[in-house]
Amino acid sequence: MKLLSSTIGCWTLLALATSVACADDWPRWRGPQDDGVWRESGVRESLPEGKLTPAWSVPCGLGYAGPAVAGGKVFLFEYDKRSGEITNNAGGRDALEGIERLRCLDATSGKELWRHEYDRPYLVSFPAGPRATPTVDGDLVYTLGAEGDLHCLRTDNGELVWSKSTKDDYGVETPIWGHSAAPLVVGDLLVAMIGGDGTTVVAFDKKTGEQRWSALSAYEPGYCPPSLIDGELVIFHPEAIVGLTPDTGETLWSVPIKPSYGMSIASPLPVGDRLFVSGYGGVSVFLRPPAAAGGEAEVLWAGKPKTSISCANSSPISDGEAIYGVDANDSALIAVDIATGERLWETTEFTVGDDRRARHGTVFLVRQGETDRYWLASETGDLSLVCLSPEGYEKLGSTRLLEPAGEAFGRPVVWSHPAFADRAVFARNDRELVRVSLAAD
């Protein structure tokens, strides 16, 4: 591990970033531009040790799905378990009975505005609630439940506009760890990972639910949301990463990549005209898609043991010089040289919190605008503000957001990505959702 000797670069970038005021919603997975960047100004430059007092806290049910924040509303996707035992056996499914529910709350007060719920038995591994963050698009919000219930609702009153079922409509067996890929709005389409022969990815009319096109075949849909990168729809399923035309689903290019156990989870990371793709089991590839490579996809380097990062729960992020991400095998936050794939430094301080060996240690990385400051939301329930660079990291403070109420591999965890909006962080565990102000003093 290396520590920066100076924070001059960090504060210089901070001054530039805060010179122009702006505001952001967090309407979907990894923010408004699907890149894990929070572009609001007027936020804190450091964090106090201890705990910031929440502006409000509301009880919530089980769920890995992060909250979405848009138009002054918070959308919380949760599960109310009625019966059954949660064992969190990674290789076996648990049977639960309960209700899957979307709640809409006032972002200022936490007051509930409406709810939409339905009976939903679960038969998945790690069954503690839905996985996919709601996707908000104007006056509509979309959810994909753990067992494949795809719903479109009105944001003002929760009225159901249309729905689909991966089981009933497409005959798809639910993946062992549940449907996890948040749907993506592209123009007048809603693109969702469904599964099945020729329907691994399906585009629907976002207002009516009518199927517009379907594409690809894989033995499972995987767990990675679709992405729109440089005008192409990029799909990472358990057998390949693929570029499609958004309007028709035509395949433009494909590179075989096969994570262990079908665990294509982390979002592909664009770095200029290149893509970094990683999955569980030592899989990591840095490539240049055909549009930039001039015909065929060009693999620039591939990770080897003790190099690069094999990401799972949290998606990597980059400053153009290094890639930062969490390796699912050793649970370390790692910086990787973009040019070579070699590791520059690593630490477990922000993941599992100590030097013990663990699998799937998790910290969610969110960059503060175009600075070198990053918000790190750890599975331990802590939020840290850190300057990251190829040379090392400088911690600018840490605060307790939540108690880790979930469990994984024998340790307590928070495995839900927070939302950053309204100069605040919105974070949930399996007991409560909190709003904590991050506005500058």
What is the predicted pLDDT for the residue at 293? 57
Question: What is the C-alpha to C-alpha distance for residues 341 and 319, in angstroms, rounded to an integer?
Answer: 15
Mean pLDDT of 380-391: 97
Question: What is the C-alpha to C-alpha distance for residues 171 and 302, in angstroms, rounded to an integer?
Answer: 36
Mean pLDDT of 51-60: 96
The 10s digit of each residue's pLDDT in 15-25 is: 333 333 446 89
Mean pLDDT (the chain, rounded) = 93
What is the predicted pLDDT for the residue at 292? 59
What is the predicted pLDDT for the residue at 137? 98
The 10s digit of each residue's pLDDT in 115-164 is: 999 999 999 999 999 999 999 999 999 999 999 999 999 999 999 999 99
Give percent of the chain above pLDDT 90.
88
Residue 55 class from Cβ within 10 Å (0-12 exposed, 13-18 middle, 19+ buried)?
A: middle
7 has a pLDDT exceeding 50: no
What is the predicted pLDDT for the residue at 5? 35
Question: What is the C-alpha to C-alpha distance for residues 386 and 384, in angstroms, rounded to an integer?
Answer: 6
The 10s digit of each residue's pLDDT in 266-315 is: 999 999 999 999 999 989 999 999 875 567 889 999 998 889 999 999 99
Question: What is the C-alpha to C-alpha distance for residues 410 and 396, in angstroms, rounded to an integer?
Answer: 30
Strand order in the sheet with 382-389: 37-38, 363-368, 373-378, 382-389, 392-400
First to last CA, the chain: 32
Mean pLDDT of 392-410: 95
What is the predicted pLDDT for the residue at 358? 85
Domains of the chain: residue spans and CATH: 1-60+365-441 (no CATH), 65-179 (2.40.10.480)
What is the predicted pLDDT for the residue at 102? 98
11 has a pLDDT exceeding 70: no
Beta strands 322-326 and 333-337: pairing type? Answer: antiparallel
Report residue 284 as tokens. 């990591």
Mean pLDDT of 336-340: 97
The 10s digit of each residue's pLDDT in 212-260 is: 999 999 999 999 999 999 999 999 999 999 999 999 999 999 999 999 9
pLDDT confidence of 9, banded at 50, 70, 90? very low
Mean pLDDT of 351-355: 81
CB 314 within 8 A of CB 363: yes
Report residue 314 as tokens. 């949290």
Question: What is the C-alpha to C-alpha distance for residues 34 and 26, in angstroms, rounded to an integer?
Answer: 10
Distances (CA, A) of 422 to 12, 40, 69: 24, 8, 9
Classified as helix, coil or strand, 375 is: strand
What is the predicted pLDDT for the residue at 210? 98
Nearest CA among 343, 376, 372 for reference residue 362: 376
Q: Is the dihedral of CA 121, 123, 125, 131 positive or negative?
A: negative
For tokens 């620039």, the residue is 300
Supply the Cα-derived Rg of the chain in whole angstroms.
20
The 10s digit of each residue's pLDDT in 100-113 is: 999 999 999 999 99
Mean pLDDT of 324-336: 95
